[in-house]
Structure 1
């Protein structure tokens, strides 16, 4: 890319074969992914996986050993100043001046970004209102709670109206209400067209908030895509729990024999439908029958209809698809560097 030339495209964040080594430690090793404009990308990995290093490179706070990254089409290597104008970075911890109030703190950074006059005044008013800190603008930062400090840090990252937001563990240490409010703010920013890369260990929130996720471990990207796509790629089964009012043992035995052939391998039956040499993955727990079910909702409906036709009194059916946390545990090994 020629310095200063903005390449057009839908992707607002792009990592191209990014490497970052610290001696023999491969903090980031050959990572490539992109985030479309207006999307929220969740960056997931254990501690020491390389998330913060990647985000620091994107934020022009570090340089890659090899490869490059682009923010709104500009290279972090060749055009760091142009990247910074388009980027808002919220680190996992940030420094403050204890005796400065919230409005003075935000005003300082607005001036640092070159905002002047009415533009700065209107921008400060919007940021205070959006982050819910307008009522605390005169309060010293040292008196703020953890949640309010996080809001202020988000406001600092927003004060120059960046196109791209990099948020490193923004929900760490927040109470449930503060996390819900932060999640709503992030989704609203995405709806306004901002592209957001966010790291978090609270995977249930990322699953609700993000358009796509990437799972990283030991500096390598193991999986990327929408949450549903990764779930489908990594897990083709779901747990099915059927509650029968009586004859649970008979129902379980019938399931082993009469399930569709395409489900035979997972459930432990043979291809011709005869009982296997060893019991399949069917567990009887009182009235409940639990088993790994490979098939879609139509297959599930056909299975329940068949059981009713066989005279079993079906009282309840539960279908549990593995969550993002389940997939994360399946993909990663808990390794650190």
Structure 2
């Protein structure tokens, strides 16, 4: 296992990016668990890490958490190298793994207090920090309850509290919502968003893509150890030239409107043989008063289209745009490959 020889020890770079992976590789024999991955996450942002099982998410998260070393490349937390400055990284990072050990015969407060002491918190600082963590995670009412009596959701809250107890700048959360009921997932999502609003940078992996779409500022899609796409969901859609479905409710003359949309050369980016974008032939479907078709333009182009139809004398009662979901993007970008 070879670390990147060009990394400089003790260099703390100033900037907004508090997570950075630079050409990261991790091989296990012939298996390329992580292969040439680079991305960064700015302060106060939530980055969703998406991929099938075995894609390399946990491996790269473990490297960021200083629990493993890369074969090549480097990763940085708040400007410090995970290879050359692991102790400085650990002070700034909270890691919540997909499975974690608890001590069955201690209560919640004792469990958190143990880790607070391990991080060097003492006296009043430790007392106040424990109180804040118990209050923030909603476990203060059961601080004296043995861990063995906690539900799955409360154990996840306790694990989040353990990762927060030393007030880290960066949080790495590996499948934190796994096995939680809907209410617990909603509450966890709110806590993560609040932490980001407080300035913490969060890297989170999950198989519940709808939740990631709601809480993340940007996402990265990984498969077979390679990063296939990064950016906001909208950015990735735009990069992939994804269309969205437009549904227009037109009173009385829906068939005429559909024919006009099909034949028009107006620059509203309808995917069709007559369009300026040169897309594939569009299916303009009429369903009673509803006209449906795939649309390649942005919201301004959509407004221009509606205005054009009104000027043509069509009575528009309603317009709905159905954007592609994160699940649609994921299925388009990945191939379902495993290693």
SS in 1 for 2:176: coil
Q: 1:175 aligns with which of 169, 174, 181?
A: 181
Q: 1:232 aligns with which of 218, 238, 247?
A: 238
Matches within 5 A, 1:111-122: 111-122=117-128
Q: Which residue of 1 aligns with 2:53?
A: 47
The whole-number CA distance in structure 2 between the counterparts of 1:177 and 1:70 is 34
The whole-number CA distance in structure 1 between the counterparts of 2:297 and 2:163 is 45
On the 8 A contact 2:233/2:329 being kept in 1, the answer is no
Q: Structure 1 residues 103-112 or 282-291, which shifts more?
A: 282-291
Q: Which residue of 2 aligns with 1:143?
A: 149
Instruction: Using the TM superposition, give the Cα deviation of residue 150 of structure 1 relative to its aligned residue in structure 2, in angstroms.
Output: 0.5
The whole-number CA distance in structure 2 between the counterparts of 1:5 and 1:202 is 37
Q: Which residue of 2 aligns with 1:267?
A: 272
SS in 1 for 2:144: coil
Q: Which residue of 1 aligns with 2:164?
A: 158
User: Is 1:93 aligned to 2:99, yes or no?
Assistant: yes
Matches within 5 A, 1:211-250: 211-250=217-256
- TM (norm. structure 1) is 0.92
Structure 2 gap segments, 5+ residues each:
1-6
SS in 2 for 1:206: helix
Q: Which residue of 2 aligns with 1:20?
A: 26
Q: Structure 1 residues 153-162 or 183-192, which shifts more?
A: 183-192
The whole-number CA distance in structure 2 between the counterparts of 1:270 and 1:137 is 64
How many aligned positions are there?
Answer: 332
Q: Which residue of 2 aligns with 1:195?
A: 201
SS in 1 for 2:104: coil
Instruction: Using the TM superposition, give the Cα deviation of residue 305 of structure 1 relative to its aligned residue in structure 2, in angstroms.
Output: 3.4
Residues 23 and 316 of structure 1: is their aligned pair in 2 closer, same or farther, counting only changes over 3 Å?
Answer: same
- TM (norm. structure 2) is 0.91
SS in 1 for 2:274: coil
On the 8 A contact 2:33/2:224 being kept in 1, the answer is yes
On the 8 A contact 2:45/2:196 being kept in 1, the answer is yes
On the 8 A contact 1:99/1:140 being kept in 2, the answer is yes
On the 8 A contact 2:268/2:304 being kept in 1, the answer is no
SS in 1 for 2:309: helix
Residues 4 and 305 of structure 1: is their aligned pair in 2 closer, same or farther, counting only changes over 3 Å?
Answer: closer
Residues 258 and 180 of structure 1: is their aligned pair in 2 closer, same or farther, counting only changes over 3 Å?
Answer: same
Matches within 5 A, 1:271-282: 280-282=282-284
Q: Which residue of 1 aligns with 2:116?
A: 110
Write out per-residue CA displacement over residues 134-158 of structure 1, whole angstroms, 9 at most, x where no aligned residue.
Answer: 0000001111111110100000001
Residues 270 and 97 of structure 1: is their aligned pair in 2 closer, same or farther, counting only changes over 3 Å?
Answer: closer
User: Is 1:252 aligned to 2:258, yes or no?
Assistant: yes
SS in 2 for 1:318: strand
Residues 115 and 176 of structure 1: is their aligned pair in 2 closer, same or farther, counting only changes over 3 Å?
Answer: same
Q: Which residue of 2 aligns with 1:11?
A: 17
Q: Which residue of 1 aligns with 2:285?
A: 283
Q: Which residue of 2 aligns with 1:314?
A: 316
Matches within 5 A, 1:72-83: 72-83=78-89
Q: Which residue of 1 aligns with 2:332?
A: 330
Residues 174 and 309 of structure 1: is their aligned pair in 2 closer, same or farther, counting only changes over 3 Å?
Answer: same
Write out per-residue CA displacement over residues 216-273 of structure 1, whole angstroms, 9 at most, x where no aligned residue.
Answer: 1111111112233222222352211122333433332222112415636x123376x9
Instruction: Using the TM superposition, give the Cα deviation of residue 332 of structure 1 relative to its aligned residue in structure 2, in angstroms.
Output: 1.1
On the 8 A contact 2:264/2:275 being kept in 1, the answer is no
The whole-number CA distance in structure 2 between the counterparts of 1:306 and 1:8 is 50
